[in-house]
Chain A
């Protein structure tokens, strides 16, 4: 129990520090790394919530795949000589803080609205297989079959679209197949 509490605070502060780092660091490369550490801290929090599968998926998909692309792009394109700066657009400057305030208020209402009833208790009792791959897979293929299939279809469309776009841009079809005649 003590170990879990220590881990919770380490992961919690790590997540907050990571999130702050994303917004406040000047060098985009460091921002991306802050986001990575934030995502890993979130994965640890998922582990503490008995969501093993979610934690692993978080690391594999976000930290291991999505952020890899971010790192790629920033490392190639992001130049540390031209740090990210606040835009001079007056409209964005005026609405940025308002939007942030709105989100803050919304989250505050949601959190306080739950009257923080979880703070006093030990949390709900869940059985050991609660966040296991079996349990998640079972839910995905029974209760949430339709959303699951819809999301799969959407991803398939995106993948096909990516291939089509990449194909058009290159214009090197004749070089791909040696001996082939370019249409």
Chain B
């Protein structure tokens, strides 16, 4: 048996498989919680109760939602391309979950041994995030195109235009962070914000980058106020109009995973990742708390801001965020060389 040999490479493979399962299982459980939280909070923001019928104070509402989705028929329009309609939600989930692997929850050895509390620590860290972010595009386009419906197609094209417009800004906004840390690896970036280095969270020196990242992050996850791909008044529901049942649920879940991923990357790149008071073993707690704050921020913004018009969206992306991000990179580079 090769698998049970004492080869250290095989051991890390096993550890990685366990890590992958843990990450996937935890996120799968977190999504319904965020969903409930969002519905409850939206209710509060809008002066109503929110879901409160299923279970104590509506706590079991996610179960009801998931059961409903599971028991629904997955319908396929006659004009659709069925196999492509089936793989589009898979792509969206896979690209969203894959990015979770690089989010660091704690340093190596925080919980004993040389176990790092992250999926993988790749030297191309941030590029990995961008790579899967750009592949997420195909989920929208395939889903919308394969549905064989005009609304779906228009929604898909809007998502695509929005994603590529903001992909540039999000990339440039993180470049300043990468330059300050001198690495693309998220673990190195978090280390650079620790007490060993200059000991300052990058949100302070990279404040402009942080703002650009958050705005572009909202756009990347197609959340309000950037939910043009699914603007219900014009497009019914955008690229997922023709989807029903758990396929729709998969798109829905991918959106929430995307929110978690962006919160995680923002935590690692700008809010010092696992750094916080207390012993090192508490590291994951700080990461989760900071990510939770970001998720709340996402919900808060959703309840606060109205949707942008399409030309406003493009204007903001290309004429405000992009020049600002470029300027930020330029200034950071000059400052880094001078000091």
A101 within 8 A of partner (CB): no
Within B118-142, the residues touching A (CB, 8 Å) are 122-124, 127-128, 130-131, 133-135, 137-138, 141-142
Within A116-166, the residues touching B (CB, 8 Å) are 129, 132-134
Q: Let me know if B157 and A65 touch, CB within 8 A.
A: no
Q: How far is the CA of A101 from the CA of B9 in the complex (A)?
A: 45
Interface size of B by CB at 8 A reads: 24
Q: Which residues of A are found within 8 Å of B124, using beta-carbon distances?
A: 52-53, 55-56, 132-133
Interface size of A by CB at 8 A reads: 25
Given A2-B2, A53-B127, check contact A75 B157 (CB 8 Å).
yes
Given A52-B123, A72-B160, A75-B145, check contact A59 B135 (CB 8 Å).
yes
Within B184-243, the residues touching A (CB, 8 Å) are 184
Residue on A nearest B127 in the bound complex, by CB = A56
A60 within 8 A of partner (CB): yes
Q: Let me know if B153 and A75 touch, CB within 8 A.
A: yes
A38 shortest CB reach to chain B, Å: 14
Q: Which residue, of A33, A40, A60, has the highest number of chain B Cβ atoms within 10 A?
A: A60
A34 within 8 A of partner (CB): no
Q: Which residues of B are found within 8 Å of A75, using beta-carbon distances?
A: 141, 145, 153, 156-157
B73 shortest CB reach to chain A, Å: 27
Q: How far is the CA of A17 from the CA of B217 in the complex (A)?
A: 35
Q: Let me know if A65 and B135 touch, CB within 8 A.
A: no
Q: Let me know if A71 and B160 touch, CB within 8 A.
A: yes
B304 within 8 A of partner (CB): no
Q: Let me know if A72 and B134 touch, CB within 8 A.
A: no
Q: Which of B127, B145, B156 meets A60, CB within 8 Å?
A: B127
Q: Which residues of A are found within 8 Å of B142, using beta-carbon distances?
A: 33
Q: Let me know if A68 and B160 touch, CB within 8 A.
A: yes
Q: Let me know if A60 and B131 touch, CB within 8 A.
A: yes
Q: Let me know if A52 and B122 touch, CB within 8 A.
A: yes
B residues near A (Cβ < 8 Å) are 2, 13, 122-124, 127-128, 130-131, 133-135, 137-138, 141-142, 145, 153, 156-157, 160, 164, 167, 184
A-B contact pairs, 23 of them (CB 8 A): A29-B145, A33-B142, A40-B135, A52-B123, A53-B127, A56-B127, A56-B130, A57-B127, A59-B131, A60-B127, A60-B130, A63-B134, A64-B131, A64-B133, A64-B137, A68-B134, A71-B138, A71-B141, A75-B141, A75-B145, A75-B153, A132-B124, A133-B123
A-B CB proximity, top 6 nearest: A64-B134, A56-B127, A59-B131, A132-B123, A56-B124, A52-B124
